[in-house]
Amino acid sequence: MPELPEVETVRRGLLPVLEGQRISKAEVNRPDLRWPLPERMSERLTGRVVTALRRRSKYILADLDSDETLIVHLGMSGRMLISGIQIGEFHYDHPAPAKHDHVVIHTEAGGRVTFNDARRFGAMDLAPTATVDQHKLLSGIGPEPLGNSFNEAYLIERLRGRNTPIKSALLDQRIVAGLGNIYVCEVLHRAGISPLRKAGRIGSERVATLVPLIREVLSEAIESGGSSLRDYRQADGELGYFQHAFRVYDREGAPCVTENCAGQVRRVVQSGRSSFYCATCQR
């Protein structure tokens, strides 16, 4: 499932097509994705101007001049593909309609955004902009890891006394927004902390080192366009490249890249998810 860097990359790709543009037509080709789509979705989108395009955790939020916000989650295989616009030297022509094009948004400027989702694990909803943070999909989500409210003092306090493994704690969206399996594995390797270690047994100084490392890994991944594994593509259809910089994720049996470490990358399963780490240098 796309994590914060992938969703942020898609948001940035959508900006020149959607932000500040008026929707001339919204095609809704089925009544549901993972859940039912909002009532009169086509009518509520058509004619509206997208005043801002934001991200909250793993969700894209399109604020409309109707004081509603379109909430989008990509799910396992959802793609938002742009066409009909010129970006730099490249013009993205409209593709032929595809089988799993479930929602298609046309703008007055000629741009098009197509939400294609073969597995239909994605989701869309409309909610009042003023209270969108209270929506059931967004309420209870912790601070954004790239924002000021996520800091060393906050993380130390939230992890104090927790008996859950640090890997599980960092995946808890109530503690920090948007982190997923890939980037938590990468962060913990850079920090030299085992994903198996109990969160509450890690000293405050070591917990504090996680904050800048989380920001570092996420920023690097965003600049690389995310990590392309299985279904993920950017909004222009291109692949992300951060997977080529993985230190541990999906590298079971490979030598550890930490300087002067003779260990190998191991894989263990935690709560149904694969954790990759080096038992030699991650303690």
- Same domain, residue pair 267 and 199: yes
Give the pLDDT band (50/70/90) at residue 258.
Answer: very high
- Same domain, residue pair 161 and 72: no
For residues 189 and 139, give the distance between their C-alpha atoms in angstroms, rounded to a whole number.
30
Given a contact cutoff of 8 angstroms between Cβ atoms, the answer to whether 166 and 197 are in contact is yes
Residue 2 bears catalytic tag: yes
Give the pLDDT band (50/70/90) at residue 13.
Answer: confident
pLDDT tens string 119-134: 999 999 999 999 999 9
Catalytic residue among 48, 56, 58, 79: 58
- Same domain, residue pair 61 and 167: no
Residue 58 bears catalytic tag: yes
pLDDT tens string 17-32: 999 999 999 999 999 9
143 in a domain, yes or no?
Answer: no
Residue 197 bears catalytic tag: no
Confidence (pLDDT) at 86: 66
What percent of the chain has a predicted confidence (pLDDT) above 70? 90
Given a contact cutoff of 8 angstroms between Cβ atoms, the answer to whether 239 and 233 are in contact is yes
Confidence (pLDDT) at 203: 97
- Same domain, residue pair 117 and 187: no
Catalytic residue among 25, 120, 266, 273: 273
Residue 3 bears catalytic tag: yes
Sort 37 into a burial class: Cβ within 10 Å, 0-12 / 13-18 / 19+.
buried
Confidence (pLDDT) at 254: 96
CATH number where 245 lies: 1.10.8.50
For residues 231 and 118, give the distance between their C-alpha atoms in angstroms, rounded to a whole number.
10
Measure CA 199 to chain center. Answer: 24
For residues 42 and 231, give the distance between their C-alpha atoms in angstroms, rounded to a whole number.
27
Confidence (pLDDT) at 88: 61
> How many domains is the chain built from?
2
The secondary element (H helix, E strand) that includes residue 69 is strand 68-73
Give the pLDDT band (50/70/90) at residue 229.
Answer: very low
